[in-house]
Amino acid sequence: MVKTATFESLLADARPEGDGTYIFVLEGKTYRIKDKDEVRSIAEQHGYIIIY
Protein backbone atom coordinates (compact mmCIF):
# COMPACT_ATOMS: atom_id res chain seq x y z
CA MET A 1 0.00 0.00 0.00
CA VAL A 2 1.30 3.44 -0.94
CA LYS A 3 0.66 6.17 1.62
CA THR A 4 0.98 9.81 0.64
CA ALA A 5 0.45 13.06 2.51
CA THR A 6 1.04 16.69 1.77
CA PHE A 7 3.56 18.42 3.98
CA GLU A 8 0.97 21.11 4.75
CA SER A 9 -1.60 18.58 5.98
CA LEU A 10 0.98 16.99 8.26
CA LEU A 11 1.91 20.39 9.68
CA ALA A 12 -1.75 21.11 10.36
CA ASP A 13 -1.83 18.09 12.67
CA ALA A 14 1.03 19.37 14.87
CA ARG A 15 -0.66 21.04 17.84
CA PRO A 16 1.23 23.49 20.10
CA GLU A 17 1.63 22.32 23.69
CA GLY A 18 2.37 25.77 25.13
CA ASP A 19 5.88 24.94 26.32
CA GLY A 20 7.53 25.34 22.93
CA THR A 21 6.80 21.77 21.86
CA TYR A 22 4.14 20.27 19.64
CA ILE A 23 2.05 17.13 19.87
CA PHE A 24 1.84 15.23 16.61
CA VAL A 25 -0.29 12.09 16.19
CA LEU A 26 0.12 9.80 13.21
CA GLU A 27 -1.59 6.43 12.85
CA GLY A 28 -2.47 6.40 16.54
CA LYS A 29 1.07 7.03 17.75
CA THR A 30 1.75 10.27 19.63
CA TYR A 31 4.99 12.22 19.26
CA ARG A 32 6.22 15.26 21.18
CA ILE A 33 8.35 17.32 18.82
CA LYS A 34 10.32 20.54 19.20
CA ASP A 35 10.25 21.60 15.55
CA LYS A 36 7.37 21.18 13.11
CA ASP A 37 9.84 20.04 10.45
CA GLU A 38 10.20 16.78 12.39
CA VAL A 39 6.81 15.65 11.05
CA ARG A 40 8.44 14.83 7.70
CA SER A 41 10.85 12.28 9.13
CA ILE A 42 8.15 10.77 11.35
CA ALA A 43 5.81 10.35 8.37
CA GLU A 44 8.62 8.78 6.35
CA GLN A 45 9.25 6.32 9.20
CA HIS A 46 5.59 5.31 8.85
CA GLY A 47 6.14 4.70 5.12
CA TYR A 48 4.58 7.89 3.77
CA ILE A 49 5.67 9.62 0.60
CA ILE A 50 5.57 13.36 1.29
CA ILE A 51 4.18 15.67 -1.37
CA TYR A 52 5.37 19.29 -1.24
pTM: 0.86
Task: Please report which confidence band the pLDDT of residue 49 belongs to, taking 50, 70 and 90 as the band edges.
Answer: very high
Domains of the chain: total: 1
Q: What is the mean pLDDT of residues 11-27?
A: 95
What domain range includes position 16? 3-51
Backbone angles phi, psi at 11, to 5 degrees: -60, -35
Assign 10 a pLDDT band (cuts: 50, 70, 90): very high
pLDDT at site 27: 95
User: What is the predicted pLDDT for the residue at 52?
Assistant: 87
CA dist., res. 38 & res. 35, Å (int):
6
